[in-house]
Amino acid sequence: MKRIVILISGRGSNMQTLLDAKLPCEIAAVISNKADAVGLEIAGARGIPTVAISHKDFASREDFDVALAQEIDRYQPDLVVLAGFMRILTANFVNHYAGRLINIHPSILPAFSGVNTHERALQEGVKIHGCTVHFVTAELDHGPIIIQSAVPVLLNDTPATLSARVLREEHRIFPQAVRWICEEQVWLNEQGHVASDRLEQLGSTLTSPGLD
């Protein structure tokens, strides 16, 4: 059974979705860069080891990433999952976990990488928005894509309403991506592309606004 370490920075709603999904893996630990992250309490209440390592205790991003990697490696994970971990990771850290580090991002990448994705989507006037689970590479939010989900952008949407609609999709696709990896149905091939032995391409479409 594969071992997973989850990294969070806050409430951990995506982490909680993974815990509720009864995945075929062992959640070895939940680690946060913030000691007051609510997600640590949720994980701890379920008997999962939790650790807080504050990035503020380190002189540089590189020093923090070294300490973080040392803590992660104590649990010998097969997969490291970024579930709302709000830190940009150094290339050395990412390369150390190449092919076994994934992230969920609240946009249809490569559009709207970085932060404030919902505000930017509304400002740009896009009609379809969504979320992406991808392998992490040194280029921010541009790693090989595992799965995406789209939602319509409504005329009266605010960043809050759009975020809530996207979050529901995050909670659907994140456990699926982790399950695929745990069951070795999805992996990175030698060319650095996502490969699979079972992904179905259903051919369905989403048009927003709807056609007459």
Cβ neighbours around 6 below 10 Å, total: 28
Contact 31, 50 (CB under 8 A): yes
Q: Which residue in this structure is represented by tokens 């982790």?
A: 178
Instruction: List strand residue ranges (DSSP E) for 106-212, in order.
Output: 128-135, 145-152, 186-188, 194-196
What's the burial of 19, exposed, middle or buried (CB within 10 Å: 0-12/13-18/19+)? Answer: buried
Told to judge if 105 belongs to the known catalytic residues of this protein, a careful annotator would answer yes
The catalytic position among 105, 129, 134, 171 is 105
Q: How far apart are the first and last CA of the chain?
A: 50
Cβ neighbours around 84 below 10 Å, total: 21
Q: Which residues are annotated as catalytic?
A: 105
